[in-house]
Structure formats: structure tokens, C-alpha cells
Amino acid sequence: MSRHIRVLVVDDSAYIRKVVKEMLERSPEIEVVGTARDGDEALEQCERLRPDVVTCDLIMPGVDGIEFIRRQMAKRPVPIVIVSIAAESSERVLSGLDAGAIDFVQKPTALATEKVFDVAEDLLAKVMAAARAPMTRIPTASVDVPLPTASPFQNRYSVVVIGVSTGGPQGLKALVPRLPRDFPVPVAIVLHMPIGYTEAYAKRLDDISALDVLEARDGDAVRPGVVLIAPAGRHLTFQRGGDDTVVTRLDVRPLDTPHRPSIDVLFQSAAECYGERVLGLVMTGMGVDGREGAAWIKARGGAVLTESEETCVVYGMPRAVVEAGLSDEAIPLDRLAATILERI
């Protein structure tokens, strides 16, 4: 039997420490080896216990969660999953991800109810995925290093569609800022995030990118030079008008997808709207979202790229596409922008 995943739980609330410990130890594969009340104690416990994964609150007295993440990642990188209250600022959670955390789970505001246990399945899945994540940290590219546009423009594709989950906020920051201002086709992205985070994330990505990055709205024109991120809670699809213009459509349906927005729904819509002129990309993430959509793109004559295992935080979604025989090429994160430009 493989050894347990050793977890350190960090939260200033004794009740939440107890609840998170109980949730995690529902799995026979996980052992909570310690708890900490603040960032200072967490740093000491990480040094002493050498956990495989840390779960971390953000608002704590003294050294808060973000500062703890920064210091710990500089000292000894360890997979960190933020466990944040839903009412906390999305900016704070995004700062935690920027500091080096791998993923985050929302805990409900009604702490003294059974609703706290509603997040147990999500927390367990993310902690177990984090335990397998390689801790070679993903660098964030900046706008001062855009790559030159491929010359000449081959006019092979009309849209780039991207699907990403765990590790996605960091991965997209290493990809999108490397696309130049004159990138000749539109980009649409599904990033698995809870409601309330995609707009703030789009703004952060826009700040460091040459392209315009926006949270998609219903009826947006799909045009070159613009990156549209599907809003959490609604699927993003395309609709072609009578004058051949393409606009976005947002909908909660279909209701039976594991994720909303769904990569499969975006990819299928792109294939139906653009036919063979779709370039799809499946990046780091848990699960199989994107596999079915990749099949639609391939069936219509488009191409599908996958992020290679060596740079994925979680090699789940790309693996599913590769194993289904749907990936045209697997590429490490630092070469994705150049490869997209070569193909475009």
C-alpha cells in the first residue's frame, strides 16, 4: 500500500481546522500530520513536518495566508491549496495563486452548519491532485516579451479555443502575454473557476497582455486581438449571423455537464461554427473535460494541441485527449505560444 499523503491544515479558526481535518481524513489515503493557526506557525510546521500538501486560509492574524505562501514557496516549494471563505475578495484568492498556490476551494459562509461538509469531495480531489503536482513553479510571462507574429500569416485557422483547469490561472499567465498585439484570430477560453472570480482574473490577465482580455458577455463580437474568458457558471458558445459575423452566446444549459462552463461545450460549438478552421488547446487540469470537444474539432477537420505532461500541474485533461488519440502535438508550456504562432 502506498504511503499516506501528509497534509498540514492552516486556519485561524479551531472549528475550521477540525472540520477540514475530518473532511480530509475521510480518505484512507490522507493523513493530517499537523495544524497551524497562522502563517508564522505554518512556516515552522512546514519546516518540522515536511508535509506533502498544505491547505491554507488567507485571512489570519500576523503573517496572513498570502505572505505565508510567498515565504514558503521561496523557502521550499510545497503544493498549497487555498481554503477560502466565499465572501473573501476574489483579488485576495488570485493573489494567493500568483504567490504560488496550486488551487483553491471555497468554504461556505455559514461555518456552523453541515454545509461546510458540502465542499468535502472538492477538497479531497484537489488535495490529492496537488500531492501529485510537480513543484517546478510556472513562470509568469510579462508583456515586454511578446513573440513576433508568424510571417506570413497562413490563414489556416479562424479561432483558437483553450480549455484549462487546475494550474490554469498560472498557465494562462505564461501563455497569453506571449501572444503579440497583432495576433490575427480571436481566442476563447474556458477556465474552471467558481462564480465571482473570472472577471477579476480576466482583468489581471489583461493588465499583463498585449491582447485585450475580457470576461465574455452575451452577444460579444468575436474578433481578432481579443481574448474572451467564459464567465463562471455559464457555458460559452458561438453563433454565426446572416452577415457572417460571429457573436458569443452564454447559457446555463446544458445542465448535465460536470463543469459550467464546459470545455466540451465550447469546443463543440467552435467546431460547428468554424468547421476545419479551429485550433484547440487542452492545458493542465483534472478530469476529462475537453476530450469530447476535441473529438468534435478533429471530426470537422480542425487541430488539437495538448500541454505536455512535464509542465502540467495536473496531467488529467491533456492525458485524456492524448489517450483518445485526439492530440496532434503535445507541447510544454514555455513553447505553447510559439507553436500556436507557427500554426496560425
- Count CB neighbours of 288 within 10 A: 18
Whether residue 79 is preceded by a cis peptide bond, meaning omega within 30 degrees of 0, is: no
Q: How many CB atoms lie within 10 A of CB 287?
A: 18
- Angstrom CA distances, 151 to 182, 300, 342, stand at 12, 26, 9
Dihedral, CA of residue 166, residue 170, residue 173 and residue 178, to nearest 10: -90
Active-site choice (262, 289, 308, 327): 289
From the candidates 38, 192, 262, 308, give the one annotated as an active-site residue: 192
Collapsing DSSP to helix, strand or coil, 184 comes out as coil
Could you write out the three-class secondary structure of 123-167? HHHHHHHHHCCCCCCCCCCCCCCCCCCCCCCCCCCCEEEEEECCC
Which residue is it, cell 459562509? 109
Longest dimension (CA), the chain: 66
Q: What are phi and psi of 15, to 5 degrees?
A: -65, -45
Q: Is 192 a catalytic residue?
A: yes
The side-by-side arrangement of strands in the sheet containing 329-331 is 212-215, 226-229, 187-191, 159-164, 278-282, 303-307, 329-331
Number of Cβ within a 10 Å radius of residue 268: 20
Which residues is 250 bridged to in the sheet? 236
235 labelled catalytic: no
Query: In this structure, what are the phi and psi dihedrals at residue 266, rounded to the nearest 5 degrees?
Result: -60, -50
Nearest to 239 by CA among 274, 264, 212: 274
Neighbouring C-beta atoms of residue 32, cutoff 10 Å: 20
Which of these is catalytic: 84, 90, 158, 165?
165
For 6-41, the DSSP string reads: EEEEE-S-HHHHHHHHHHHTTSTTEEEEEEESSHHH
Based on the residue annotation, tell me whether 165 is a catalytic residue of this protein.
yes
Pick from 179, 105, 114, 97: which is nearest to 344 by CA?
A: 179
Q: Which residues are catalytic?
A: 165, 192, 289
